[in-house]
Amino acid sequence: MSWEAAGEGSYRYSFYVHNFGDKPQSYQLNTSVLVPGIYEEDGVQFMADQDRPLTQEEYTLTYSGNVEHGKVTVPAGGRARVTVQIDLTETGKG
């Protein structure tokens, strides 16, 4: 898997799904977008122990590569590349 910053507030990573079997396999993709949780104490902000999931208003998510309708199909004995693009909205950047 490789990560890259695709611009301010944009992130992209790619990976391969391998199929060692003799029949095609399909998988529904599901991505959770998390950021460090923040809490405030005595007017000072600190990073929390747990991450906070972003809401759908805070980002857009796009799959590309061997993906159709959010599903990747891997041919028998083959592999399929998936790229995930995460773009933060102005709300998500704040």
Residue 82 in this model has a pLDDT that exceeds 90: yes
Question: Of 4 and 15, which is predicted with more confidence?
Answer: 15
Distance, in Å, from the CA atom of 12 to the CA atom of 9, rounded to the nearest integer, reads: 10
| CB neighbour burial string for 37-57, b if at least 16 within 10 angstroms, e if fewer | eeeeeeeeeeeeeeeeebeee
pTM score of the predicted model: 0.79
Distance, in Å, from the CA atom of 75 to the CA atom of 18, rounded to the nearest integer, reads: 9
pLDDT in tens, 49-80: 999 999 999 999 999 999 999 999 999 999 99
Q: Could you tell me the pLDDT band of residue 92, with boundaries at 50, 70 and 90?
A: confident
Residues β-bridged to residue 56 = none
3-state secondary structure of 93: helix
* Token couple for 88: 């933060």
